[in-house]
Amino acid sequence: MKKIVYFLGIGGIGMSALARWFQANGHSVSGYDKTATPLTQALEAEGIRVHYDDAVASIPAEVRAHKDQTLVVLTPAIPPDHQEWAWLRGQGYDIRKRSQVLGVLTAGRRTLAVAGTHGKTTTSSMVAHLLHHAGVPCAAFLGGISVNLGSNLLLPESIKNGLTDSEIQSLTTEDIPVVVEADEYDRSFLTLYPDIAIVTSTDADHLDIYGDKESLVESFRQFVGQIKPGGTLILNHTADQSVAAAVPAGVRVIRYGLSPEQGPELYADQISAHGHQFRFHLHGPQGTVAGLELAVPGFHNVENMLAACCVAQLEGVGEEALKAAVAAYRGVKRRFEFVLTAGEKVYVDDYAHHPREIEAFLRSMRALYPGKRLRVVFQPHLFSRTRDFAEGFAQSLSLADEVVLLDIYPARELPMPGVTSEMILSRITAPKKSLQTKAQVLAAAETDLDFDVLATVGAGDIDQLVPRLKNILDIRWNGVEA
């Protein structure tokens, strides 16, 4: 592997995990991103050089001087007219997509991959946490910041306190598993050849890439078709069941769901909520584990934990270690994250950006806070997703008492004529609804406290509101500045 690694889009959650891996393994790492964020600032604090202007002159001198020793890692979010990318292409640099690099790093290693149009970040973080907590040496590349790990990267303990040649070599051997979030966007997960794969969902998404749901499902069939001989597919019962038929001969299929009535062999029963905690019994091919306690709420998280526990059991984690690990799990940043509580007042932040995710989140909020007035601030992500799922977004958001919509976050897309947040707003049936700017949301938090529970939801830059809303509400609810 080349000694110099340069990232275009280093602040992306998946890109930053790779940057941290290369940094930990002694490579010279630097990169570009459009704007500074807490994540890019964390990378800089760890010794990774980051700049924010798209200019060839800003590319580090060592990258420009040593083409043959440099690997350039590219995120799909970089636009085609990006000046640095154009120059690097023109100079003949070795440029790989993030997914290609991840495929190289996992080749020849025991790979535990979590795929799905939603749920994969939480579930992969659960798998990594369960193994790590139980003392199973493993690595993990995650699509979110694990609260337990404080990072989106987990390295085996042997390389955390200085590197030796033998320790670096240990990271590439088959006996240390690597947990990978397998992203279906742009068919990225087809670079992976897992030993165990979880598929959490195959709902329609990324139709700007796939065109229709059948093409999306076909990519999942291709993915599970790459499971290694003797491997296992853990498949959500709601996923397209044609996926199971695509596994190679000798690959075991385990279906999972929340209750035995749904027909899976891996399921939960006696599910109950106690404050923010969910308790349940797990039943599956490896036996029954009674009395599991999950501190991260949500019925969907119980379901995610079922799949993660199954992987941990397959990797040799015993019952008592599993129970302790589940109880210690604290989630992923921006996944059902409790930002502030004050008596009966609550503020929660969540990354949900697909109608099914929003529905699962809001139904869990309703179960946790029955009878409470729920205000949801949602930022649609992508023009194409808004166009394709406007009706679904409206239906799921209508579970709230009040819905506030921000403008669409474009990410990698250009505006589409006629596609605005109004497409969703006009279909929402909640008692109160509005379209607001971020400034208006903050102003409303100062004066309009006609709610018991607030939720900010979305995958764009709505997270920029979180610390400011927390500060305002802390003053208003507690009289204390955060």
Asked if residue 92 and residue 124 are part of one domain, the reply reads no
We report the CATH number of the domain holding residue 421 as: 3.90.190.20
Structural contact between residues 159 and 148, judged by C-beta atoms closer than 8 angstroms? no
Asked if residue 353 and residue 417 are part of one domain, the reply reads yes
Cβ density class 155-172: b for 16+ within 10 Å, e for less: bbebbeeeeeeebeeebe
pLDDT digits (tens, 9 = 90+) for 2-48: 999 999 999 988 899 999 999 998 999 999 999 898 899 999 999 99
- Domain edge (last residue) among 48, 77, 97: 97
We report the CATH number of the domain holding residue 57 as: 3.40.50.720
Residue 156 is encoded by which pair of tokens?
A: 């085996």
Mean pLDDT, range 103-122, rounded to an integer: 91
Owning domain of residue 41: 4-97
Binding site members for ATP = 116-122
- Domain edge (last residue) among 328, 350, 368: 328
Looking at the predicted structure, is the pLDDT value of residue 449 above 80? yes
Asked if residue 352 and residue 281 are part of one domain, the reply reads no
Residue 29 is encoded by which pair of tokens?
A: 């790492």
Residue 273 lies in a domain: yes
pLDDT confidence of residue 168: 42
C-alpha span between 404 and 465 (Å, rounded): 13
Asked if residue 129 and residue 39 are part of one domain, the reply reads no
Residue 452 is encoded by which pair of tokens?
A: 């018991």
Asked if residue 172 and residue 152 are part of one domain, the reply reads yes
Q: Which residues contact 266 (CB under 8 A, 6 or more apart)?
A: 234, 254, 255, 256, 257, 282, 283, 284, 285, 306, 307, 310
257 DSSP assignment:
E
Structural contact between residues 404 and 391, judged by C-beta atoms closer than 8 angstroms? no
pLDDT digits (tens, 9 = 90+) for 211-249: 677 888 999 999 999 999 999 999 999 888 899 999 999
Asked if residue 90 and residue 19 are part of one domain, the reply reads yes
C-alpha span between 363 and 1 (Å, rounded): 47
Band of residue 263 on the pLDDT scale cut at 50, 70, 90: confident
Q: Are strands 28-32 and 94-97 parallel, antiparallel or unpaired?
A: unpaired
Q: Are strands 374-379 and 277-284 parallel, antiparallel or unpaired?
A: unpaired
Asked if residue 382 and residue 255 are part of one domain, the reply reads no
Residue 329 is encoded by which pair of tokens?
A: 């799990």
Q: What is the domain count for the chain?
A: 3
- Domain edge (last residue) among 295, 328, 361: 328
Lowest model confidence (mean pLDDT) among 179-183, 231-235, 374-378, 475-479: 475-479
In DSSP terms, 340 is beta-bridged to 347
Asked if residue 125 and residue 154 are part of one domain, the reply reads yes
pLDDT confidence of residue 254: 97
pLDDT confidence of residue 165: 43
How many angstroms separate the Cα of 432 from the Cα of each of 257, 294, 303, 375?
Answer: 34, 33, 32, 9
pLDDT digits (tens, 9 = 90+) for 148-165: 999 999 998 644 444 444
Residue 102 lies in a domain: no
Which of these, 420, 381, 334, 75, lies nearest to 206 by C-alpha position?
A: 381
Residue 402 is encoded by which pair of tokens?
A: 């009040």
Asked if residue 179 and residue 201 are part of one domain, the reply reads yes
Looking at the predicted structure, is the pLDDT value of residue 186 above 80? no
Asked if residue 149 and residue 202 are part of one domain, the reply reads yes
This prediction has a pTM of: 0.84
C-alpha span between 32 and 297 (Å, rounded): 37
Lowest model confidence (mean pLDDT) among 257-266, 404-413, 425-434, 458-467: 257-266
Cβ density class 430-448: b for 16+ within 10 Å, e for less: beebeebebeebeebbeee
Structural contact between residues 29 and 5, judged by C-beta atoms closer than 8 angstroms? yes
Asked if residue 60 and residue 146 are part of one domain, the reply reads no
Residue 273 is encoded by which pair of tokens?
A: 């909520």
Which of these, 91, 136, 64, 53, lies nearest to 312 by C-alpha position?
A: 136
We report the CATH number of the domain holding residue 141 as: 3.40.1190.10
Binding site members = 116-122
Residue 120 lies in a domain: yes
Residue 112 is encoded by which pair of tokens?
A: 């535990």
